[in-house]
Structure 1
Amino acid sequence: MNMITRIKGLFSVKSALQASAAGIIAAGVIVSGVPQGLIAAHADPVAVQAPQVPSFADVVGAVSPAVVSVRVQTNIDETADNGNGFSFNFGGEGFDQLPDDHPLKRFFKEFGGPGFDGDGNGRRNPHKMPHGKGHLRPTAQGSGFFISADGYVVTNNHVVSDGEAYTVVMNDGTELDAKLVGKDSRTDLAVLKVDDKAKRTFTYVKFADDSKVRVGDWVVAVGNPFGLGGTVTAGIISARGRDIGSGPYDDYLQVDAAVNKGNSGGPTFNLSGEVVGINTAIFSPSGGNVGIAFAIPSTVAQGVVNDLIKNGSVSRGWLGVQIQPVTRDIADSLGLSEASGALVVAPQEGSPGQKAGMKKGDVVTAVNGEPIKDARDLAKRIAGFRPGSKAEVTIWRDGKSEVLSLTLGALPADQTQAQADEQQGDEQTQPSTDKALAGLGLSVAPAEDGTGVTVTDVDPVSDAADKGMKQGETITSVNNQEVKTPEDIEKVIDKARNQGRPKALFQVESQEGTRFIALDISNKG
């Protein structure tokens, strides 16, 4: 159809419409703009029949009275802080002790500043600028929740750790003073007790069995993000057993409910209103929520909280050895069929492990017959015992299993991973002549103090370089045999090759501590 045909068609349609309209007018009258005999069309509203997502309102309504905000105050000595990173110290005097004609005082009176309410009238605001000894100022704010009718509150250790006074703010705005019952830095948990002279009965919540929580289950987080008390967010369990490097007992639930600063210490609930986790950390390049938050599992929290309420501290079993994971390379170097267990880097002098005969290079494969998956598993397993408990520890040494019987000690309050207490050798040192270890990409020389072999050079394209070995580090043993010369290393490697092992286990010491590295020895050079 060409353009002319289209235009003719339009005139034909128009003529037909005019004829129809004339007929309608002839047949009747027009009422309210609608020809008689015609009915005005009305569109129906959109209505979608779709599955309805369950509401969280019932859960939130039930648990919200049990969730609180936690405010922490700390003593500030003489130095006043305006909250923006600037501190002012006037020889022990407060800002308001300055003469009225002092230029600093005139400036802040005019423009508002620390110690003033900002309206230019110079009125003192003690909350903005405490001064002198004995004055408290707010330093932290987080979340928490009641776990008993008489006012025990659970929160994070990092919320209250530096505090000297604590205030619990309920969801109806009621403020109550609280005392610190106990705290545990290793699990980042703390317990407060409300000082309630009215002896009221508080709404409280209970811990769930988080072993029944599945990845994908709905959860609801309630807390105090950015000081906005009573904020509710929802999401799902994203993962279980997360190790974020915060401590030896990491076993976090990962959730994608929005968690931000101020949510710390707040609860994450299942749809039955039970606490499945306690929010403690977020992963955030920006500092705000990106959908990755970590919560302490309820079963971990429950045991710690009970100990804190009963004793004010947590008692844990102590083995007293520094450990590291067993990689596939390390397993090959030791003749282990699986890359599991915990490699002993060094037993601490006088520790239960050292007394029982544990040595560096041993691999702990089981405790009381239960297999150990990795170093973190061993740390949690030992911590689960009470001090004084008897334990049977299975180790792998020199290509075979042994069982050591021991009595666990008590983990010291500030115990960190034990460092090796190496004895300094008094043997005459060998001449410091560099020697290349064929096929390993290493040049070594006897250490000046006789305690091992110093790495003098590392081939940048070698397996040793890939594993992080550096010039200046000291090799103290290979396959758990002490070495003092390059010839010692070669003998041990030759023996391992004759046994058909593709790797050799090097113990390496540096300023950062001791570690084990498994190097490929299949290439004879």
Structure 2
Amino acid sequence: MTRIFKLLFPVVLLLASAVHASLPDFRDLVKEASPAVVNISTIQHVSSGSSSSYQQRYGLPEDVPEIFRHFFGVPSPSPRGEQEKTSLGSGFIVSHDGYILTNNHVIQDADEIIVRLNDRRELEAKLIGADKSSDLALLKVEADDLPIVRMGDSDALDVGEWVVAIGSPFGFDYSVTAGIVSAKGRSLPNENYVPFIQTDVAINPGNSGGPLFNLDGKVVGINSQIYTRSGGFMGVSFAIPINVAMDVADQLKESGAVSRGWLGVVIQEVSKDLAESFGLEKAAGALVAQVVPDSPAEQAGLKNGDIITRFNGETIYLSSDLPHQVGRVRPGTEVRIDLVRNGKRKRLNVEVGTLSNDKTQTLASNTTPGEFSSDAIGALVADLNDSQRQKLGFDGVLVKAIKDGPAAVSGLMPGDVITMIYGESINNLDDFKRVVSELPGDRSVPMRIVRRGSALFIPLRVPK
């Protein structure tokens, strides 16, 4: 046995050495890129909560004895007046004179923004502009000769390519994590504007807004979101492509706001059965389920039942590809649309309009029949199917996804079933739309949900 081990040991060492040699070395990349990565902290001045809001948050009365607060891990209530709410995130410097790119949710509603540089300097930042739709913000600090990142091309990324993130997870500055590109062009619920890069790079709270690098040390994305059921990293993270981000940053720098293209169609996925019914060889493209009246799509001659296969020279493989392409076109630009109508190929020219801030206006909405995305509360809900209704034994709407907004703050989760809002029974999507549209603003209303078989009420804070 000992002799066999002696014979095999050199082989094992050789294999280990070969594996080590094939793995990337990130040391030079980190040394070069880290000086241009920053830590961002914010302060928001808010009034202290009332005893009722304190009780809602912790489930204890405000006058509970101090010994019980420590037992349950509940802090003492702050005195009446102003409090400071803080948050942490990351960012990176894109110009020598102090422009910094980060996520909008890192600095949203902040009264003060402090940027800490790699050399430990702390500078107060000014918000140049923010775009909630793409979750991007552009900051400016007063400084000269700052180190900057090198920009890459996110369109040239390949699935399986190594990528590296640098940021401040949980406040641990300049933490480095690595992984690969898992997918490109991902569409997330309620996110029509960004074709996300999916990675398996470990991303946690505090990484938001930080750069994602390729092996050349060039920024290819901005770490923005994770998919999680636990609140922590679970192996799936998402980054905003740098090509999208820089287009937004240029507009924010120029005017402080972002203009997006508007087509004005409601679309859906082309399934195998639909493709066959429309006489297509394969299931691809975006099926136009509805053309918005007086929209650029209607003016160009698009019709219900058209299947868009190419937009502005880009092939539309999935229906979710179309909103990404439309949103990137500057308003007023004339583009070409290739489509299939009644089994025949057709080409149209359309002058892309301007997407307004009106939430009812349709960019090129990718919807599934029986679903509704509520921007008012920040949730994607769907009708229960017959099987779900029979299994549950009651009616309601199923929560499919949550984004930043009142629903997330209230603790609503995917998989919850909403059965009542503000005393009104919710049996289907029509009930949900009607009740949500009539909710009083700037107050909390009770919402009854069923979670894993148990019913409970949670407070939903309706914005103004």
- 1:189-208 equivalences under 5 Å are 189-194=136-141, 196=142, 199-208=143-152
Q: Which moved more, 1:386-395 or 1:224-233?
A: 386-395
State the secondary structure of the residue aligned to 1:286: coil
- 1:325-474 equivalences under 5 Å are 325-368=269-312, 370-416=314-360, 418=362
**CA displacement 1:392-412 (0-9 Å, x = unmatched):** 333433343443333221111
- 1:485-500 equivalences under 5 Å are none
- Residue in 2 that maps onto 1:184: 131
Alignment partner of 1:62 is 2:32: yes
The 3 A distance-change label for structure 1 pair 180 and 376 is: same
Shift in Å, 1:69: 1.5
- Residue in 2 that maps onto 1:74: 44
Q: Distance in 1 between matches of 2:305 and 2:24?
A: 55
Shift in Å, 1:318: 0.8
- Residue in 2 that maps onto 1:434: none
- Residue in 2 that maps onto 1:255: 199
- Residue in 2 that maps onto 1:241: 185
Shift in Å, 1:374: 2.7
Structure 1 gap segments, 5+ residues each: 1-46, 91-102, 119-127, 421-457, 466-470, 472-508, 514-525
- Residue in 1 that maps onto 2:85: 138
Q: Which moved more, 1:398-407 or 1:167-176?
A: 398-407
Q: Distance in 1 between matches of 2:34 and 2:212?
A: 12
Q: Distance in 2 between matches of 1:370 and 1:299?
A: 16
Shift in Å, 1:111: 8.2
Shift in Å, 1:261: 1.3
Q: 2:251 aligns with which of 279, 304, 307?
A: 307
Alignment partner of 1:152 is 2:152: no
Shift in Å, 1:325: 1.5
Shift in Å, 1:110: 12
The 3 A distance-change label for structure 1 pair 510 and 333 is: farther
Q: Distance in 1 between matches of 2:55 and 2:241?
A: 34
Q: Which moved more, 1:207-216 or 1:57-66?
A: 207-216
Contact 1:223 1:263 in 2 (8 A): yes
Q: Distance in 1 between matches of 2:314 and 2:144?
A: 47
- Residue in 2 that maps onto 1:427: none
Q: Which moved more, 1:169-178 or 1:369-378?
A: 369-378
Identity %: 41
Q: Distance in 1 between matches of 2:191 and 2:139?
A: 23
Alignment partner of 1:222 is 2:166: yes
Q: Distance in 2 between matches of 1:176 and 1:273?
A: 25
- Residue in 1 that maps onto 2:441: none
Q: Distance in 1 between matches of 2:264 and 2:320?
A: 14
Q: Distance in 2 between matches of 1:419 and 1:315?
A: 12
Contact 1:344 1:359 in 2 (8 A): yes
- Residue in 2 that maps onto 1:175: 122
Contact 2:264 2:363 in 1 (8 A): no
Larger Rg computed on CA atoms: 1
> What is the aligned residue count?
357
Q: Give the partner amino acid of 2:39.
A: S
**CA displacement 1:234-276 (0-9 Å, x = unmatched):** 2222333333334123422222222111111111112332112
Shift in Å, 1:338: 2.8
Q: TM-score normalised to the size of structure 1?
A: 0.59
The 3 A distance-change label for structure 1 pair 148 and 349 is: same
Q: Which moved more, 1:339-348 or 1:364-373?
A: 364-373
Judging by fraction of residues, say which structure has more strand.
Answer: 2
State the secondary structure of the residue aligned to 2:177: strand
